[in-house]
Structure 1
C-alpha cells in the first residue's frame, strides 16, 4: 500500500526463513508439489452446474508455495523494472497459462507507458458465459511489485514484501485458478497484477486509462492488498477501503451470510481508499472500486522493512480468506443485475 510509512504501527514478534521455492513452482504448474494434480475443492452441483458451495479449494500448502516464491530472496524485493520482478512476472504468466486464464491483450504483459524502464502489468482474462452479461467486466487485482531494498537489519537489506503485496497477489492467483478451473463466471473477469504501485500507482493508472479508452463496461473493481496476517479483536474478517462510499460491504456480507467485511476507522482516517490500485479505476470509471485488506496498523510492524518475510505470514488465514471470498466473488460476477453501487 503506497505511502503509509510513518503511520502508527505496533510491533509484533517475527521469525526468519521461507518455504522451498521448488515446491511453489510445482504448485504453479497445477500440482500439489509432488507431481500429482491437486484436487482441493468440494462443490455441489445444481441446476446451473457448479454452485457457490466451496470447501477447502485453497490450502495452506498452496498459498504457502506461491507466496514463498514471490517473496523469496531470489526476487530481491520485486522492485519495478528489476530482474527480480521479471522473475515474478514469468511465474505469474505460468500460473495464468496452466490454469486456463487467457491473456486479455495479445500477451499477458501490459507494458507501462508511464515508467522509464521496461515494466509490465500482468493481465489475464476469462470470458463470461452469459450471452449478455459477458459484455460487463469485473476486475480482480493486486500489485505484485515492492520496493526492492530497505534499511539493513543483521546484514539483510532485501525488502521481500511478503505481506505487501505478495499476499494479495497470491489471493488473486488463487481466484484466477478457481474461475479458470470451473469457467462458471457469467460476467467476464479480468485478473490484473499491477507493477509500479510503489512508484505511485503507475500500473493501475496506466491500465485504468487504457481500458477506459477502449470503452470497457466495468461493473466493479475489487483489489486485494496486505492480506497475509489476520485482524485481531474485530467482529469481521477483513475490511474494505472506502467503506462508506458504496454498499459493497453490505452486498458481500449478504452473499457470505456472515459479517465478512467491516469498517476500519483507521482506514478512513488515513484515507486508504486513495492509496492503492483501486483508486485509478474509481477515477476513470466512476464505479465502485475498492480494496480488501487485513492490515489494521496493529497486527503488522514491518511495512516497507526487511522484516516483511514469509515466515510471519499466516497461511491458514490466507487460505481461509480465499475460501470465504470465492463464493462472494461468484455471486458478484453472476448477479443478474448489478447490485454494487456508490451511495
Structure 2
C-alpha cells in the first residue's frame, strides 16, 4: 500500500539554529522515513524537511519552507527549542497556522518529545491525551490545561494525532507508524536493522524506578524468550512464574516493572504480533493462525485481533499481504 509523504516541521531557535539535542529526534525521524527500504515497501515514504533554519552548531539544509507541510500525509514536529519549552518564546505564528492548515486538510499530526508544545499551541491537542518527556509534561499541562497530559506512557495514539516522550520513545512511535502503515513484518525488519526492540507498546511506562537487573540465569529474559517460542501452548501466569522460580504475584510485579504490562496482556500482545506476521507472510487459514499464535479458535482469534488491532484478520491480510511463505 502507498506510504505517502512525511513532512518534518522544524522549529529552530532564531539565534542558535537547531541544537544537538533537538537534532536527536529529527535524526530518528529521518532514519525511519527518509532512507528508502525497497525490500520492505516500494515506494517507501517521501520525506520533506520544512522550515527556515539559521546557521547554528549544526548546519542543516531544508528542502522546503513551511509551505511544504501542505499536502503531506503525515506531519511530524520533532522538537522545539528550550526557549519555547521554558516559556521565554512562543511557537512561531506561521508554524501554528501551517500546522492547523495541515490538520484541517486531513494530515496525520505527530509530535516527538517537546514537539507536543507546537501541536498544543496550534490547538491540535485540546481534549486529547498527549505526552512528552516526563521532565516537560508538568509545564505542558500548566500552559495547555485543555490537553489531557499523560506523563506515564511512551507514546499516545489518538488516531489522527500522535505524541511521544523523548529520546528512544520517539523511535518507538516512528516504528508504530510504520507498523500501522506497512504492517508488522516491515516494522520488525526495520527495527532489526536499527538494532532496537521491534515493538514497545505506547502504554509502557516512561520511567522505571527499579528496572530488572541484567539476566543472571534466573531473571525474566529467558522466561519471556521461552514464552515467545511457545505461544501456541496454553500458557498461564503460574506456568511462567514457575519457570522463573518465583510466585505468580512476584512474577506479575517484576514483569510490570520491566514492561509496564501485566503477564496476560503481555502474552496477548505477543500472540497478536505472531498472528500479524502469519497473516502477512503465509496463506494459513484464520483457524490455523489462531492455533499457531495461541489465540485459539477462529472466532476467538477474530474477536481478540479485531479488538486489539482495529480491523479483522481478513482486512489486515488484505492490506499487508506479503509473498507467501511455508505453510
TM-score of the pair, normalised by structure 2: 0.28
Q: Determine which structure has more spread, i.e. the larger CA radius of gyration.
A: 2
Structure having the larger proportion of residues in helix:
2
Higher strand share: 1
TM-score, normalised to structure 1's length?
0.27
Return the structure number with greater relative CO, CA threshold 8 A, min gap 6: 1
